[in-house]
C-alpha cells in the first residue's frame, strides 16, 4: 500500500500518481488539470451526421466571406502568408488589385465589427494612426480598385448597422473614407486560415478545424499570429495587452464556420494578468 496521502499532492504543481494519473496545477491561475492514463485511447466518432448536406466541390472555395474567392468581402488585408520558391513568407500591404495574384495560406484582416473600436482609442486617448499606417491607407486608396473596395466594405458595415440605402448614399465619400481609418489603424484583427472544408470533404459537416492542420501548419499559424501581435503593439502605444482567442463555429459566436483567430488590443491587463504578474514578482521561477 502506498504511504502517500492526497494531502501531500495538494500544492504540487506537477505530480504523477502511482496509477499513472498526472495532476497539474497552473501556478498563476490555480487551475487544476487531471490526465488519467488511457484517456487518449477514447474513440472519437467521425460519423457524418444525418443532417449533413452534400457540398459543391470547387477548385477555389466560395462558401463564406473568408474563402479565397471572396477576398474583397473583407476589409483591406494587412498581411498574408504564402509559399514562394519552397519557403513560406509574409507579404504585407497587398493592394486590392493584387489580392488574387497569390494564394494565402493565412490572411490577416481587420475585424469589420470591432469589440474595442478604433473610436475607443481616438476618443479616450486622442490616438491617431502612425505615419506608416497613414501612408498605407494612402497607398491602398491610390487605385480605383482600392477606393471601390474600401467604400464597398464601409457600405456593408453600415447596412449591418441598419442604415437604409438612402442613408448610405447621403454619406459623402470623404466621410466614408474617414470611417475606413478603422481598417488601417484599428486593433481588432482576424487571422483567417485558407480552407473552409478539410481535404476531400464531401459534406458540409467536414469543416477544416484546427485539428486538421499539420504540425508545420500550426507552427506557421502561430508565428503569423505572433507577427500580427507585434504589429498591433507597435502601432498603438496605449495597448497593454492583446487578447488572442479562437471561437469555433456559430455556437461560440463566430460569424462564419471558417477557421480563424481573433486578436483584440486592450488598454489594461485585467484581473487574471494582474494576478499572474503578482505571482511572478513573488516567485520569478
Separation between Cα atoms, residue 190 and residue 263, nearest integer Å: 6
Residue where the block lists cell 482600392: 146
The pLDDT of residue 40: 66
What is the helix (H) or strand (E) element at residue 195, kind and residue range? none
The pLDDT of residue 46: 61
- Which value, to the nearest 10 degrees, does the dihedral of the CA atoms of residues 180, 185, 186, 188 take? 110
In angstroms, the Cα distances linking 105 to 42, 80, 194, 213 are 32, 7, 5, 11
The pLDDT of residue 2: 44
The pLDDT of residue 174: 97
Separation between Cα atoms, residue 215 and residue 233, nearest integer Å: 27
Tell me which residue of 207, 195, 213, 194 sits closest to 49, measured CA to CA.
207
In tens digits, what is the pLDDT along the chain, a chain of 285 residues? 444 444 444 557 898 888 888 999 988 778 889 888 876 666 655 667 778 888 888 878 999 999 999 999 999 999 999 999 999 999 999 999 999 999 999 999 999 999 999 999 999 999 999 999 999 999 999 999 999 999 999 999 999 999 999 999 999 999 999 999 999 999 999 999 999 999 888 898 999 999 999 999 999 999 999 999 999 999 999 999 999 999 888 777 778 899 999 999 999 998 888 888 888 898 887
Separation between Cα atoms, residue 178 and residue 84, nearest integer Å: 35
Residue extent(s) of CATH 3.30.428.10 domains in the chain? 68-282
Separation between Cα atoms, residue 193 and residue 132, nearest integer Å: 26
22 φ/ψ angles, rounded to the nearest 5 degrees: -105, 125
Tell me which residue of 268, 280, 272, 262 sits closest to 240, measured CA to CA.
268
The pLDDT of residue 3: 46
DSSP string, 11-43: T-SEEE-TTS-EEEE-TTT--EEEE-TTGGG--
C-alpha cell at 37: 492514463
The pLDDT of residue 182: 97
Separation between Cα atoms, residue 108 and residue 219, nearest integer Å: 16
Residue where the block lists cell 506537477: 14
- What is the pTM (predicted TM-score) of this model? 0.82
What is 68-282's CATH number? 3.30.428.10
Amino acid at each position: 500500500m502506498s504511504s502517500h496521502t492526497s494531502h501531500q499532492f495538494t500544492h504540487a504543481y506537477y505530480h504523477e500518481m502511482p496509477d499513472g494519473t498526472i495532476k497539474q496545477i497552473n501556478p498563476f491561475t490555480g487551475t487544476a488539470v487531471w490526465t488519467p492514463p488511457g484517456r487518449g485511447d477514447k474513440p472519437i466518432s467521425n460519423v457524418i451526421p444525418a443532417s449533413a448536406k452534400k457540398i459543391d466541390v470547387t477548385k477555389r472555395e466560395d462558401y463564406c466571406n473568408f474563402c479565397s474567392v471572396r477576398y474583397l468581402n473583407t476589409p483591406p488585408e494587412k498581411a498574408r502568408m504564402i509559399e514562394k520558391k519552397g519557403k513560406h513568407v509574409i507579404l504585407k500591404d497587398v493592394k486590392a488589385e493584387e489580392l488574387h495574384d497569390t494564394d494565402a495560406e493565412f490572411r490577416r484582416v481587420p475585424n469589420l465589427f470591432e469589440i474595442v473600436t478604433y473610436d475607443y482609442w481616438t476618443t479616450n486617448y486622442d490616438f491617431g494612426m502612425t505615419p506608416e499606417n497613414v501612408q498605407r491607407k494612402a497607398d491602398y486608396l491610390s487605385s480605383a480598385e482600392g477606393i471601390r473596395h474600401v467604400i464597398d466594405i464601409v457600405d456593408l458595415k453600415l447596412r449591418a448597422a441598419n442604415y437604409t440605402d438612402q442613408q448610405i448614399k447621403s454619406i459623402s465619400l470623404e466621410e466614408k473614407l474617414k470611417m475606413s481609418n478603422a481598417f488601417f489603424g484599428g486593433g481588432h484583427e482576424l487571422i483567417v486560415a485558407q480552407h473552409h472544408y478539410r481535404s476531400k470533404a464531401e459534406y458540409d459537416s467536414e469543416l477544416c478545424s484546427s485539428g486538421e492542420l499539420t504540425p508545420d501548419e500550426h507552427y506557421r499559424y502561430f508565428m503569423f499570429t505572433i507577427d500580427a501581435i507585434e504589429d498591433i503593439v507597435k502601432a498603438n502605444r496605449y495597448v497593454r495587452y492583446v487578447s488572442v482567442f479562437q471561437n469555433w463555429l456559430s455556437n461560440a459566436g463566430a460569424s462564419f464556420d471558417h477557421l480563424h483567430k481573433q486578436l483584440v488590443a486592450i488598454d489594461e491587463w485585467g484581473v487574471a494578468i494582474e494576478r499572474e504578474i503578482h505571482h511572478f514578482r513573488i516567485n520569478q521561477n
